[in-house]
Chain A
Amino acid sequence: DADVTQTPRNRITKTGKRIMLECSQTKGHDRMYWYRQDPGLGLRLIYYSFDVKDINKGEISDGYSVSRQAQAKFSLSLESAIPNQTALYFCATSASGDIQYFGAGTRLSVL
């Protein structure tokens, strides 16, 4: 079983819809991250959390929100999806903020 699991793996939604991407991990790490990957732009940090009561904005948090329901779970929500949020989304975990362990990704299309 994967150490970092993302669901769903693929999602197609319409503009204006609210959607949630989920991430769970079995590595026991305190730190969790959400990134989006766009061609030519690499990975950009959306939100990160260092423990259940700690949530921080990344470089591109507008239009997104997160919830850290437990040490092992970190969800990303798009409150009202728009087409330029079409991207590949990755969740990652780390123990110390150094080496990061990534999930398989969620490919999101907003029509």
Chain B
Amino acid sequence: AQSVSQHNHHVILSEAASLELGCNYSYGGTVNLFWYVQYPGQHLQLLLKYFSGDPLVKGIKGFEAEFIKSKFSFNLRKPSVQWSDTAEYFCAVKPGGYQKVTFGTGTKLQVIP
């Protein structure tokens, strides 16, 4: 079965620091990739997605992610975080031909003012 690994469970950064959250998946074929964000007390919402084409995708609020097929990775980045980025971030993968999306265990980001 496919799996999604998020190795950082809890990240603490100061405002203006750069962010990179890791995501690796185990499926070897075509995949659709997602990052979702869950702000405190809220539901998950889509941050960005990759289906095909340019492996560097840009999402909302200055986030971007790079799909590196050879490394089975889809890491999330932001050059300069803000206090309002404090949230939990989930990577998700949908292999081609499958109907279900598998979510990672999430990374809690805390940004200190």
Contact = CB atoms under 8 A, between A and B. Distances in A.
Interface of A: 35, 40-45, 48, 50, 58, 90, 92, 97-100, 102-105
Given A40-B105, A98-B51, A99-B34, A104 B43 contact: yes
Interface residues of B, number: 20
B70 interface: no
Contacts of B6: 42
Contacts of A43: 44, 90, 103
B94 A98 contact: yes
Of listed A45, A48, A99, A105, residue having the most chain B CB within 10 A: A99
Nearest to B103: A43
Interface of B: 6, 9, 32, 34, 42-46, 49, 51, 90, 94, 99-101, 103-106
Given A97-B94, A99-B34, A99-B49, A42 B43 contact: no
Contacts of B94: 97-98
A58 to B, nearest CB: 8
Given A48-B100, A97-B99, A97-B101, A42 B44 contact: no
B101 A100 contact: yes
22 contacts: A35-B103, A40-B9, A40-B105, A41-B105, A42-B103, A42-B105, A43-B44, A48-B99, A90-B43, A92-B44, A97-B94, A97-B101, A98-B32, A98-B49, A98-B51, A98-B94, A100-B46, A100-B101, A102-B45, A103-B43, A104-B42, A105-B43
A19 B113 CA distance: 42
